[in-house]
Structure 1
Amino acid sequence: MSRRFHAPVVLPADPACSLLRDAVVDVDDTGHLTFCGPASAAPESTALVTTLSGILMPGLVNTHAHSPMTLLRGMGGDVPLLRWLNELIWPAEAKMRPEDVRTGMLLGSVEMLRHGVTTSAEMYFDCEQIAEAVLTTGGRALLGPAIMDLPHMDWRAQLAAVERWIDTDGLRFGPGERVELGYGPHSAYMLTPEGLRAVAESAAARGALVQIHVAEAAAEDLKQRELHGSVPALLDEVGLLSGRTVAAHAIHLSDADIALFAARGTGMAHCPGSNAKLASGIARVTELRAAGVAVGLGTDGPASNDDIDLWEELQLAPMLARLATGDAMTMTAADAFLLATRGGAKALGRDDLGALEPGRWADLVHVDLDDPAFATGLDVPDEQLLANLVWAAGSRRVRDVWVAGEQVVGEGESLRVDRAKVQASVAETAARLRG
């Protein structure tokens, strides 16, 4: 049915990061937005009215995650990236069964939804299980099934499997188009140029998103940099930057790399928490944004972060940008909020998510004000209220969440999944993987 949401404050995530007072958001019976604006300017409506306290805003967009890794949370917390992958994570993942991936994703999706993250871009194995989990929780995911060249993995078979899935089910499916299919070539050091080119051609033929790790650690791509000048240059040579591509991490970039991303329309998934924890470096977000690169925020996996709460990245991104540049104005609270919403959708090539505008999906988050962060109330300047939300409150007061107009979180808990039961399943599975 059609719905009208009435709230004292609405953050539409428009380019100016406006804050609307006494505003309404209208949703039609397909789950799309039809109006967002002041109540005084709202059209006549017979829709069911939901009156909310506090703030109504778009769902956050997590542009890079490996959420089934809730099963591996806490493993190797004090080990650098390449050792962490080779010695701990990949051996544990080799023991995973397909149903384990579903279990891990169920908890990951519930965790994100409870934090107001309605969309995540997932790169992992057994993505059929991830799709099933997301359709169960009611979240939204863009899937990049992992494609890697290893002795026990055939990248050609992995690529062919992705092609069959897209050709059978289409790029998007599920209620509210909750699942989008794409490609997840792990990195330039885990695939040959031949493999990367094959992925690029396949994705271009289908208009699909490619998710790929780029220049995350200083020592990971030495051979590729020596042969091609840089990882972005290699990706451009094989055609991977010609279509919809989001580069995860993208820390160790030159000025020429940044200009190349801007020229090709490549998105960037900035993961400041994971980058800091693994000592991978601080991405050049200020320069990327200045060049016009679409930048979104990502959590990375819950084993490298160690959570999937995008609000923490909302805070870390401006903090690290300010430290890196010595400029306290280089990224404001409004800038960070837009990276987590509108910017994330743009980085993924999705103009139907990330903002409260007619025609976009009604992915909504209600934040109540019963928290010391909002002790000064709503009757403060707009900039102060937004600062309290971004810098102080974070995810604590996310109370209700809707995806495609359907409520999936109420009073801070999933309305579709028994969280305690899922957590118990994760604990049992994790114990087996450790054994």
Structure 2
Amino acid sequence: MRSPFRLRAPVVLPCDPACPVLRDAVVDVDVHGRISYCGPASDAPESPGRVVDRTGILLPGLVNAHAHSPMTVLRGMGGDLPLLRWLHEVIWPAEARLTPADIEAGMLLGSVEMLRAGVTTSTEMYFHGEQLEAAVLASGARLVATMAVIDAPGWDWRAMIEGINAWIDTDGLRHGPDDRIEVGYGPHSAYTLPPEALTLVGEAARARDALVHIHVAEAAGEDATQRERYGSVPAMLEEVGLLGGRVLAAHAIHLSDADIQTFARAGVSVAHCPGSNAKLASGTARLVDLRTAGVRVGLGTDGPASNDDLDLWEDMRLAALLARLSTMDSTALGAADVLLMATRGSAESLGRNDIGALEPGRWADLVHVDVDDPAFVGGVDVPDEQLLANLVWAAGSRTVRDVWVAGEQVVADGEPTKVERAKVQAAASAVTRRLLAS
């Protein structure tokens, strides 16, 4: 049985919709690893247990809405190629040589990298779910495992769907310590699957209230056949019955006004990945238009072979910068907007109300940011707007010192507590060296 405790800090950012800055505040964690109180210390109930004082800022764990983190072992390969050549000539051939153990090594390194950057939950589209789960549980993080479904040599998409069905039906939609693992469906894209597969995925997911996580309209030329037949990929997904229930569209760059309205009408969420989109020259998503239409938008890094890191703080800044540049409006997206997008917004894009904010009943997934850094030259005793600006625009992941998941400290003073980083890096390095030698 865990003991309840209280975290106290000069600033707490609960990340509710108004994005308030709470001064001299506390977060109480109960015996189940959930938040029982978050608010000013002056209004707090009697402390539930030991008090842990931190200087600086406490905020919710960041939520990565789209990633392929086992690709840490492929980082830098084909890095100057456009998307489709990069996939066909470099990535897919390399992935064909990965063993389940390789995938576990890559996922563990990715999980450690994200935790050190304050990312407590990642939404993964990849293969070998048992290895993904083992790696994330070893690091202490949280995982939304949307298992890949693809029609390609060596893969049977029907068997892949049946495997996901069986996993959910056997272990439950969420399972593991503190519900750290959620299982969903990851149909790769409209251009790598027949329409029948997309129909079956939609039916299976809705029957289980599971997340469907799919690449949509990432590169201009990837889905020419589908667009010619259906008009657009969102129109196709609606016609074949994939939409409805919990659907998360990754990238969603090349959308028309009608596509955006289709997403809004069907309740589709978008995982916005500005770093990957820019590196692969895939395009600039219509972020402001999506938000104006009421589409839920979360923030993702994409894979570490296409970004090339798993640092969601960088994508916060890029999201705001590109939104301002594409609209020529310096007020298009502010610091509070992108902070909420990486926390509460990403959780909402997954259909989750138990992570992404510091509110009673949610899991105690927290990040401590140290303000002993040039980014906070004025400390925390500055106006709220300036404090948020310093956090988002200037500080970044280097200021993350401590991380908790369900009240368990998984990063202390910048290092993981449950695994040895040197061993994790060495295991992943061995995989990369073998791939390069083969």
Does the TM-score normalized on the shorter chain lie above 0.5?
yes
Match of 1:345 in 2: 347
Q: Which of 284, 287, 290 lines up with 1:288 in the alignment? A: 290
Tell me the secondary structure at the aligned position of residue 305 of structure 2.
coil
- Between the aligned partners of 1:272 and 1:125, the Cα distance in structure 2 is 24
For residues 363-385 of structure 1, the C-alpha deviation after alignment (integer angstroms, 9 at most, x for no partner) is 00000111110111111100001
Q: Which of 66, 69, 78 lines up with 1:67 in the alignment? A: 69
Tell me the secondary structure at the aligned position of residue 396 of structure 1.
helix
Match of 1:196 in 2: 198
Tell me the secondary structure at the aligned position of residue 62 of structure 1.
strand
Match of 1:229 in 2: 231
Q: Which amino acid aligns with 2:55?
A: S
Q: How big is the shift at 1:56?
A: 0.2
- Between the aligned partners of 1:298 and 1:427, the Cα distance in structure 2 is 24
Match of 1:425 in 2: 427
Q: How big is the shift at 1:422?
A: 1.0
- Between the aligned partners of 1:233 and 1:42, the Cα distance in structure 2 is 51
Tell me the secondary structure at the aligned position of residue 183 of structure 1.
strand
Q: State the identity %.
A: 68
Of 236-245 and 13-22, deviating more is: 236-245
- Between the aligned partners of 2:108 and 2:310, the Cα distance in structure 1 is 13
For residues 164-204 of structure 1, the C-alpha deviation after alignment (integer angstroms, 9 at most, x for no partner) is 11111001111110000000000000111100001001111
Q: How big is the shift at 1:46?
A: 3.5
Match of 1:181 in 2: 183
- Between the aligned partners of 2:33 and 2:99, the Cα distance in structure 1 is 35
Q: Which of 332, 335, 343 lines up with 1:333 in the alignment? A: 335
- Between the aligned partners of 1:110 and 1:11, the Cα distance in structure 2 is 24
1:226-375 pair list within 5 angstroms:
226-375=228-377
Q: Which of 153, 161, 164 lines up with 1:162 in the alignment? A: 164
Tell me the secondary structure at the aligned position of residue 227 of structure 1.
helix
Match of 2:113 in 1: 111
1:111-150 pair list within 5 angstroms:
111-150=113-152
Q: Give me the TM-score of the superposition, normalised by structure 2.
A: 0.99
Match of 1:93 in 2: 95
Does the aligned pair in 1 maintain the 2:30–2:48 contact within 8 Å?
no
Q: How big is the shift at 1:150?
A: 1.4
Q: How big is the shift at 1:3?
A: 1.2
Unaligned 5+ runs, structure 2: none
For residues 133-167 of structure 1, the C-alpha deviation after alignment (integer angstroms, 9 at most, x for no partner) is 00100000101111001132110011111111111
Q: How big is the shift at 1:45?
A: 2.4
Does the aligned pair in 1 maintain the 2:28–2:48 contact within 8 Å?
no
Tell me the secondary structure at the aligned position of residue 182 of structure 1.
strand
Q: Give me the TM-score of the superposition, normalised by structure 1.
A: 0.99
Tell me the secondary structure at the aligned position of residue 323 of structure 2.
helix
The ranges of structure 1 where at least 4 consecutive aligned residues each deviate by more than 2 angstroms after the TM superposition are: none
For residues 98-117 of structure 1, the C-alpha deviation after alignment (integer angstroms, 9 at most, x for no partner) is 01000000000000000000
- Between the aligned partners of 2:407 and 2:381, the Cα distance in structure 1 is 29
1:68-83 pair list within 5 angstroms:
68-83=70-85
- Between the aligned partners of 1:432 and 1:185, the Cα distance in structure 2 is 29
Unaligned 5+ runs, structure 1: none
Tell me the secondary structure at the aligned position of residue 386 of structure 1.
helix
Q: Which amino acid aligns with 1:359?
A: G
Q: How big is the shift at 1:127?
A: 1.6
Match of 1:209 in 2: 211
Q: Which amino acid aligns with 1:266?
A: V
Aligned length: 435
- Between the aligned partners of 1:263 and 1:12, the Cα distance in structure 2 is 30
Q: How big is the shift at 1:34?
A: 1.0
Q: Which amino acid aligns with 1:116?
A: G
Match of 1:20 in 2: 22
Q: How big is the shift at 1:260?
A: 1.0
Structural RMSD (CA): 0.6
For residues 246-282 of structure 1, the C-alpha deviation after alignment (integer angstroms, 9 at most, x for no partner) is 0000000010111111111111000000000000000
